[in-house]
Every structure is written in structure tokens, then in C-alpha cells.
Amino acid sequence: MRTKFAIFVALFSLVGAGAAYAHHSFSTEYDGTKTFEIKGTVSKVEWTNPHARFYVDTNENGKVVTWNMELASPSALARNGWTSRTLKVGDEVTVKGYAAKVAQYRGDARSVTTADGRSLFGGASDDGRPENPPQ
């Protein structure tokens, strides 16, 4: 009985450790002092955990560049007024956010403004804002 319990605890610990490792803090990937603003067309939306993502095609000097934008989790986004259909492929958007430390066209989307003027908060309530600096 003890052996089965020990195996169960060990397996459960490994599963939990994997989930903890997969999730990251804001400051691990993004620079809270480097902001950006881009305008472009949504080319893909991923409504998945632990973070939703969307991709924006922009025109830089005549070349199409695809930005990989990270959002909060789907449940946090829902609390901020989002649904899985808020952004659709083909939507024109303006994104303000924080730049990734390493990847050139990757960012943490803090706000997304749609062509019709709707502005939505894109992140978790405590990530990256000056009154709550990234940890």
C-alpha cells in the first residue's frame, strides 16, 4: 500500500512540475520598458491555455512581417470582455504591448483596438503595468 501511494505521489509531482515549468513570468520573456505599437491584419488566433495568442501581419518596408502576440489566459480574457470570436482572421487591429527580450517580432499584447474602435485589455491584471511592475 505504501509503495502504491509513493508512486502516486511521485507521478502527481511530475505532472505538477511540468505545468509549473511550462508557465512563465512576464519578466522571463518580455521587457516591461520596451513598448511597441503595430497596425496590421489578424492572420491566426489560438484560444488556448495557458495563454491565448494571435498573429498580426504588418507591412514593414514593403515586406509582410508576422508578429506573434501573447494574451492572458482565456478565462482572464473572458473576465475582460473577450470571447473566442472577439478577434477573427482578417480583422484590422492596432496592438500596443511590450516587446520580447529575444524574439524580434513577438510581444505581450497589453491592448488591442479593433477597426471599429473597440479597445480591449489583453493581459492579466498584474502583468507589466507601471503600477504593478513585472516580477
Q: How many CA atoms lie within 13 A of 110 on its CB side?
A: 21
Euclidean distance between CA atoms 100 and 106, whole angstroms: 6
Nearest to 71 by CA among 86, 50, 85: 50
What is the rounded average pLDDT of the residues 3-30? 53
Report which DSSP code applies to 87.
S
Given a cut of 50, whether residue 12 has pLDDT beyond it is: no
pLDDT band at 39 (very low <50, low <70, confident <90, very high): very high
Q: Which residue has the cell 494571435?
A: 54
Query: Domain spans of the chain?
Result: 26-121
Choice between 104 and 18, residue whose per-residue pLDDT is larger: 104
| pLDDT > 90 in the chain, percent | 56
pTM of the predicted structure, to 2 decimals: 0.73
pLDDT of residue 80: 85
What is the rounded average pLDDT of the residues 6-15? 46
Taking domain 26-121, whether its CATH number is 2.40.50.140 is answered by yes
Question: How far, CA to CA in Å, does 98 sit from each of 70, 88, 129?
Answer: 10, 22, 10
pLDDT of residue 4: 55
pLDDT of residue 9: 47
DSSP string computed for 3-23? HHHHHHHHHHHHHHHHHHHHS
